[in-house]
Structure 1
Amino acid sequence: MRLAVAVGALGLGLLFSCSEDFTNRPSEDGISLDDYYSTNEQVASATNGMYARTWFQFHNKFFFAVAEVGSGNMYTNSSDVNSMRNFSITGSDPELYNGWNSLWANVAQSNAIINFLPDRVGPAVSEEVLDNTIGEAYFMRATAYFYLVRLWGPVPIIENNLAHVDQPQLNTNRVEDIYTLIINDYQTAIEKLVEKNRGANYGENGHVSKGSAKAMLAKVYLYQQNYTMAKQLAEEVINSGEFKLLGGSAVPGKSFSDLFTYPNNNNEESIFALQWITDGNYGSASNCNTQFGISTAAITTSNASYGGVFAPSQDVLSLFGPGDVRRKQTIMLPGDEYPEIKVKLGEDDGTLIVPAADQIGGQGAGAAIKKYCIGIENGTTTGPIDAWAMMENNTYIMRYAELLLIHAEAVLAGGGSSSDPAALASLNAVRNRAGLESVSSFTFEDLFTERRKELCFEGDYWFDLGRIPRTQAINIMAAQNRGNQWGAEYFTPEDSDFLLPYPSTDVAKNPKLLEPPVPYEF
């Protein structure tokens, strides 16, 4: 991390020389703050890069290698991403460093906008536009720290990177202090962000809103078992009508299958999604279509020369019950037909009929991932591709279906079961959209399973396992078949496996990472 690079990329014109550490992580994009923000349009565009490039190395492999392979949802035997399958990840893992680096890039970029943008806008810029942009930065910093604390536990709190130029070696701070920062940041985002109504003009829905911040904060409170605040915020979002369940009563012309298609980027259900773009630069678009799906000499769902880095685990192949429409839109099994997905069949193009289990390729899982797999380039169906066969279909960080499940769980509030009408309305809306019948009561285990089915391959199950009693989580994971179609494998995590090791390179530069966390003075 070069402060000269990070700060220079933000146009602050400061050239410092110091050791590389997370206090000056590169910004990952080309935002400049010098002599640029003279109009509302320019200020509003300041955060555009923070919806894609700052998240790229987190999302490209790390996110799925940890949250999905680690949780037992995905299987892979690719050497660069399979260490969490048997809980053998170390501080020298390159993808571990990429994920860590990317999250600190988000923090650094957010800090630059929060601390320096107000002094670099012209008189024609409205206060509302400036506030909204700064609110987006607070939202992004809170989200980055929400991932950091759940993945690593104690990490340093950095609110202004330039404040640590002379002392780049920092202690970590207590987990409770990090959550205080996250809550404060989301609350500030709620105050500053504009209100929206997610309508049918999807082009207007890309940036986060006041409702997005409330939804994310509801999730934070749920993780802290502050059910009162989680319920209150979830109900504020639900009652606002901003977000709608795609395929639910408010958007009946769509379905669960439409959620993960390019034409439905930024749909009514999207609360916060990464916004990929094929701008000719590596790291601006999404690689999911290549890394999921099918890749053999005979059939491939990607324009790349490789594919199928990740596959469904054997454990999730039986996750979905009869009549659950989410199965086919989550996991591709032999014989499934997808007329909307174009594939390469040798030298010809065709539509996808999933081949036999031993012909799917990839990782030998006998199945493939459907979510985020949209097929070879096909005009408006898939959008464009770049030189690396990456595409522009969004990646959800949070969508309305999860907010409904958060609401139901907050009403349950740790109890044995609930038949509360409002909670049932939220839960059953998700179930009905999936083609399942309504239930008249539910338990936490019911909700926990519903979350896994609804959000499978979206990066949540690892964190769900991390917030239940540790013995229960260990027992769940120890019982998972983490092998492929030809041989079962089982691995039992230890308590320490639920937090990742700090990257070795950063520990060498900042040994204080290994010291006990200290309180943070706000």
Structure 2
Amino acid sequence: MKRIYRVITMAVACIMLASCAEDFTNRPPEDAITLDSYYATDEQVASATNGMYSRTWFQFHNKFFFAVAEVGSGNMYSGSSDVSAMRNFSLNGSDAELNAGWGALWANIAQANSIINFLADRVGPGVSPAVLDNTIGEAYFMRATAYFYLVRLWGAVPIIENNLDYVTAPQINTNRVEDVYHLIEMDYQAAIERLVEKNRGSNYSANGHVSKGSAKAMLAKVYLYEQKYPEAKALAAEVINSNEFKLLGGDQVPGKTFGDLFTYPNNNNEESIFALQWVTDGNYGSASNCNTQFGISTAAVTTSNASYGGVFAPSQDVIDLYDAGDVRKHETIMFPGDSYPNMKVMVNGTTPQVGFTVPSAADIGGQGAGIAIKKYCQGIVNGNATGPIDAWAMMENNTYIMRYAELLLIHAEATLAGGGSTSDAAALESFNAVRNRAGLASLTSITFDDIFLERRRELCFEGDFWFDLGRIPRAEATAIMAAQNRGNQWTAEYFTPDSSDFLLDYPDNEVSKNPKLLEDPVPYSFD
């Protein structure tokens, strides 16, 4: 079943092998842990979800996430055959990365199900109920997040709350989209009830795990997608008024900048609502490959620690995305002539150098885009500036799933509530806080198009624009993508999606095991 049944035993193994330390790095011996003996203390229970912040997400994040959400949306360009199918909307069920992304999301669900259903029966008498409750709340949060991606990418999918229910009957139907969203709402609500409250301050090491506010923020986003504007507005306002999260470089954290968001020393900063926590622990699939797959890789200069780089590049469509004076431009896209004085690179393949100027468009390498991705690109290893590196040149820089700037834009859009424009003071305050941090002047009235554009600018290369396109009228989204130059700097190319391209094919190998995937979805019976 969509690889679900193969991950049932893996989910139990993941629980047993989850890391022990709050910093996600201290993993117990893999051959010495059992469910009954491991969860004897609060620390051990609290560590049960640590692996769900990195390894279970790796195959989703490594290529698939960007190949679909960024190449598909027209933000990124790639000519590499393993990640370029969405450039012309030719991705199908035989694609290896589609299968990898699908499997990773179900692995998250399987592990979350194991914790939700079985952890309480496997803890010792000395474990605090509050710690157990928080850990189970994290599992609900992760399951909701995985389903939120599944339903937006594939539409109708099976709802599985306990994998063991289907061991003897693995062929099951998909469930209706509205039922999947109902489960997501229920899971985030369950997370809100159980997770601890936090105030994310300057002690970044304490901010890695999600909180009650994280779950409220993600649920506000879900409500926005469902066009439940009053609920989205109220929940977003509640999180804003809690002061848990703050804009890095905004009025509350004035010593930082937008660019600092994507540097290793600022992992788990005040703006981070939920981020994947990568670890260079010696195992493949524990750390992030973004620094290698983005950036510049030529004989003259490389920003990669590996022997290759630049698998993804900016599209031609984002060249003029930013207005003059927008500081996000320099920290999102590397243009020829741009300077990065603190970034370490390798020159001529042999000489490390701190600080460099981006080469000409013809020499920038990568995918022939003439420009390169700066966001998540940190350069070659440089001590505390970039953090550690593993044998595969992967690094520990976090990947954002959601940050506070997006919540502010959600609040503004939920206040607009599908209207033509708004001058609501609270909506403007949220919207303009994001613009002001970017160095742009405040607006006195905003429309949906203003918010839609601001979301693309703020979240470019963070995996959201594809989903934004998917929630506007199909004709409008199709027109936007049909007008994009989806080629490279030498050859302009244009492709027009049809309505079926907005949802992905189920993996072929899963359909062969469970033909019911292709049947009409059925209602789900919630107990």
Cα 1:32–1:422 change in 2 (3 A) is farther
1:6, distance to aligned residue in structure 2 (A) = 2.1
Question: Does residue 92 of structure 1 match 2:102?
Answer: no
1:428, distance to aligned residue in structure 2 (A) = 0.4
The corresponding residue for 1:136 is: 138
Aligned partner (choices 348, 352, 355) of residue 349 of structure 1 = 352
The corresponding residue for 2:485 is: 481
The corresponding residue for 1:80 is: 82
For 2:441 and 2:167, locate their aligned partners in 1 and report how far apart those are by CA, in whole Å. Answer: 58
The Cα offsets for residues 15-70 of structure 1, whole Å up to 9 and x where unpaired, read as xxxxxxxxxxxxxx998533101110000000000000000000000000000000
Aligned partner (choices 425, 434, 439) of residue 429 of structure 2 = 425
For 1:146 and 1:388, locate their aligned partners in 2 and report how far apart those are by CA, in whole Å. Answer: 30
Q: Within 5 Å, which residues of 2 pair with 1:159-170? A: 159-170=161-172
Aligned partner (choices 358, 370, 393) of residue 362 of structure 2 = 358
Cα 1:121–1:72 change in 2 (3 A) is same
The corresponding residue for 2:474 is: 470
Does the CA contact (< 8 Å) of 1:10 and 1:112 recur in 2? no
Does the CA contact (< 8 Å) of 2:8 and 2:164 recur in 1? no
Does the CA contact (< 8 Å) of 2:15 and 2:111 recur in 1? no
The corresponding residue for 1:267 is: 269
Q: Within 5 Å, which residues of 2 pair with 1:110-259? A: 110-259=112-261
Does the CA contact (< 8 Å) of 1:172 and 1:512 recur in 2? yes
RMSD, aligned CA:
1.2
Percentage of identical aligned residues: 76
For 2:205 and 2:87, locate their aligned partners in 1 and report how far apart those are by CA, in whole Å. Answer: 38
Amino acid at match of 1:418: T
Task: Classify the secondary structure of the residue corresponding to 1:35.
Answer: helix
For 1:9 and 1:384, locate their aligned partners in 2 and report how far apart those are by CA, in whole Å. Answer: 27
Amino acid at match of 2:467: F
The Cα offsets for residues 327-360 of structure 1, whole Å up to 9 and x where unpaired, read as 0000000010101110000111112210000101
Cα 1:32–1:391 change in 2 (3 A) is farther
Aligned partner (choices 317, 324, 341) of residue 319 of structure 2 = 317
The corresponding residue for 1:278 is: 280
Does the CA contact (< 8 Å) of 2:344 and 2:380 recur in 1? yes
The Cα offsets for residues 132-185 of structure 1, whole Å up to 9 and x where unpaired, read as 000000000000000000000000000000010000111000000000000000
The corresponding residue for 2:36 is: 34
Does the CA contact (< 8 Å) of 2:264 and 2:387 recur in 1? yes
Cα 1:7–1:219 change in 2 (3 A) is closer
For 2:480 and 2:35, locate their aligned partners in 1 and report how far apart those are by CA, in whole Å. Answer: 49
- Please give the TM-score of this superposition, normalised by the length of structure 1: 0.96
For 1:8 and 1:500, locate their aligned partners in 2 and report how far apart those are by CA, in whole Å. Answer: 29
Amino acid at match of 2:50: N
Does the CA contact (< 8 Å) of 1:152 and 1:501 recur in 2? yes
For 1:149 and 1:257, locate their aligned partners in 2 and report how far apart those are by CA, in whole Å. Answer: 32
Aligned partner (choices 449, 458, 461) of residue 465 of structure 2 = 461
The Cα offsets for residues 243-296 of structure 1, whole Å up to 9 and x where unpaired, read as 000000100000101000000000000000000000000000000000000001
Does the CA contact (< 8 Å) of 2:301 and 2:346 recur in 1? yes
Find runs of 4+ consecutive structure 1 residues off by over 4 angstroms: 29-32
- Please give the TM-score of this superposition, normalised by the length of structure 2: 0.95
The corresponding residue for 2:23 is: none
Does the CA contact (< 8 Å) of 1:247 and 1:253 recur in 2? yes
For 1:407 and 1:184, locate their aligned partners in 2 and report how far apart those are by CA, in whole Å. Answer: 21
Amino acid at match of 2:138: E
For 2:421 and 2:177, locate their aligned partners in 1 and report how far apart those are by CA, in whole Å. Answer: 30
1:75, distance to aligned residue in structure 2 (A) = 0.2
Task: Classify the secondary structure of the residue corresponding to 1:437.
Answer: coil
1:487, distance to aligned residue in structure 2 (A) = 1.0
Aligned partner (choices 382, 385, 409) of residue 378 of structure 1 = 382
Which segments of 5 or more consecutive residues in structure 1 lack a partner in the other structure? 13-28
Amino acid at match of 2:428: L
For 1:10 and 1:79, locate their aligned partners in 2 and report how far apart those are by CA, in whole Å. Answer: 32
The corresponding residue for 1:23 is: none
For 2:170 and 2:491, locate their aligned partners in 1 and report how far apart those are by CA, in whole Å. Answer: 48
Task: Classify the secondary structure of the residue corresponding to 2:38.
Answer: coil
For 1:210 and 1:438, locate their aligned partners in 2 and report how far apart those are by CA, in whole Å. Answer: 31
Which segments of 5 or more consecutive residues in structure 2 lack a partner in the other structure? 17-29
Does the CA contact (< 8 Å) of 1:9 and 1:32 recur in 2? no
Amino acid at match of 1:434: A
